[in-house]
Amino acid sequence: MSKEQLELHAAELELKRLKLEVSELEKPFYLKYQFLSIFTPVLIALIPFLTVGVQAYFDSTKRKLEQTKQSLVAETQALSEKNLQLKQDIEQLSKTSLAYLNQLSSQHQDYTQQMANITGKLNDEIKKDSQQQLDAKEKSLLSLDQQVSLSIKSSSQEHLQQVNSLNENFAAELSIIKKQLNQMSTISATPVVSENVAKLN
């Protein structure tokens, strides 16, 4: 190999080294060898602690989940018991409601029957009252008729008495006139007076 070739090869190697250094410098700090050489042993030392911490976290989470599960189971059981109690209460209320409805229905029937009886009695009383009123009116009319008849009879009798009284008065006056005419006939003895006396007789 000639000297120029050796120098060219050395320059290429130098260039590669410089590129490697530049690329090493451009890397983030956590990817650099110095950082990794320090952080890796620390990370390895921390792994047991991290494992214990993670295990403790998972254990705590598991315990909480177990407690939550037990609580949910207890609540589910309580809800089941409550649901059963509610079903029993609903059945009891249904029976009570049915009995109460039957009682109301019976009371309604009794009330309807009582109302029918009361209505019948009222109708009977109204009919009786109407019949009694009709009888009273009929009696009143009969009594009024009798009173009218009696009044007519009484009026007729009074009228007859008045007529008889007038007849008696007329007869008395006529007899007085006859007597006077007779006296006059005896005094005067005229034919005219005798004729008038004869007409009056």
**Tokens encoding 107:** 């009371």
Return the pLDDT at 155.
66
**Tokens encoding 61:** 């989470």
Cβ contact 180:192 at 8 Å = no
Q: Convert the pLDDT of each residue in 67-103 to its tens digit.
A: 999 989 888 888 888 888 888 888 888 888 888 888 8
Is the model's pLDDT at 136 over the cut of 80?
no
- CA 25 – CA 32 distance, rounded (Å): 8
pTM over 0.85: no
